[in-house]
Amino acid sequence: MFSLLKYMKKMPAFSLPWRRRLENPNQMESAATPFYAMWDAVARLAHEIRGSDFMAEMIRRRDAYGSEGVMGALDCATLYGLTRWLRPVVVMESGGFIGMSSAFILKAFADENLTAAKLYSIESSDECEQGALIPDELRSASGGFISMHGKVEDFLKRDQLPGSIDMFLHDSSHSYRHMLWEFRQFWPRLRDGGLLVSHDVQMNAAFPEFIARTYAHDKRTGRRDAGRTSHYEWGRWGYIGFAIKKTD
Ligand SMILES: C[S@@+](CC[C@H](N)C(=O)[O-])C[C@H]1O[C@@H](n2cnc3c(N)ncnc32)[C@H](O)[C@@H]1O
């Protein structure tokens, strides 16, 4: 069993994207629209991985193993772009399965040189070889892949998950109830500027409904009241949805 406290103590502090703007060339943004440039940055990073040898190798592995139930290439590229853009330290994913999504998160860690970053990957099935698709060099490079066997519900009940995370990826059960439940469970654990990412948002109304509830509106104009709205930005590309959490 991994020691969560040991990992958490070693982790460097997460810094907010706009505070890191000058340090990180992926995040050149203007003060008036602080998140507008993220679209360009994520698109560029996703495009980069789409045409890479890594993508070709992952597709070869996936097809050799059987592609049923794993994340598709477009969504993997978006996930990679979002992860590189954020440069997270603590990432959690539900539904790790054979590790297609995990591999792209770990690849983003490697390409951003995030040597202390951790991916906690939860999978409940006894039948799958969790993380089997992840290339060895990514799995062992920094010990960044932490596989957790069991149901998300049970890990939460036993309080075995980090209380504060930079990025959460939902890719477990895609029922309306379960997706909404996971969003509600993990949203409060996200730091200011952290990312909620969901796969298969097209499957039901959970993601748009969750996002709708993060809005507050100005009574007079009927437009978003940015001060009281609890996201900075959100979007959907392919079957990936994401929202950037705002706490203050
Ligand atoms: C769509 S697959 C995940 C695909 C994976 N992210 C990939 O890209 O390779 C969904 C997985 O979620 C797992 N799962 C379903 N409900 C779960 C739960 N409550 N807790 C943990 N894992 C769950 C299933 O066993 C299944 O392997």
Each residue of 153-209: pLDDT tens digit? 999 999 999 999 999 999 999 999 999 999 999 999 999 999 999 999 999 999 999
Q: Cα–Cα distances in Å, from 133 out to 7, 53, 74, 101, 127?
A: 24, 15, 17, 9, 15
Tell me phi and psi for residue 157, to 5 degrees: -60, -40
29 within a domain of the structure (yes/no): no
CATH number for the domain that contains residue 52: 3.40.50.150
CA 67, chain centre distance (Å): 21
Measuring from each residue's beta carbon to the nearest atom of ligand 1, which residues come in under 6 Å? 69-71, 94-101, 122-125, 128, 151-153, 171-173
Structural domain boundaries enclosing 64 = 34-245
pLDDT-derived band of residue 3, with 50, 70 and 90 as boundaries?
very low
174 within a domain of the structure (yes/no): yes
10 within a domain of the structure (yes/no): no
Total of domains in the chain = 1
- pLDDT for the residue 30: 53
Distance (Å, rounded) from C-alpha 27 to C-alpha 34? 9
Radius of gyration for the alpha carbons in the chain, expressed in angstroms and rounded: 17
**Type of residue numbered 137:** E
pLDDT digits (tens, 9 = 90+) for 100-148: 999 999 999 999 999 999 999 999 999 999 999 999 999 876 679 999 9
188 within a domain of the structure (yes/no): yes
Pairing of strands 165-170, 231-237: unpaired
181 within a domain of the structure (yes/no): yes
180 within a domain of the structure (yes/no): yes
189 within a domain of the structure (yes/no): yes
Mutation to probe ligand 1, out of 71, 173, 203 (largest number of atoms < 8 A from CB): 173
Residue 1 confidence (pLDDT) above 70: no
Mutation to probe ligand 1, out of 97, 151, 197 (largest number of atoms < 8 A from CB): 97
* CA of residue 123 to ligand 1 center, whole Å: 6
124 within a domain of the structure (yes/no): yes
Query: Are 70 and 98 in contact, with CB atoms under 8 Å apart?
Result: yes
Of 85, 115, 89, 104, the C-alpha closest to 11 is 89
* CA of residue 245 to ligand 1 center, whole Å: 24
Query: Among the atoms of ligand 1, which is closest to the Cα of residue 128?
Result: 27
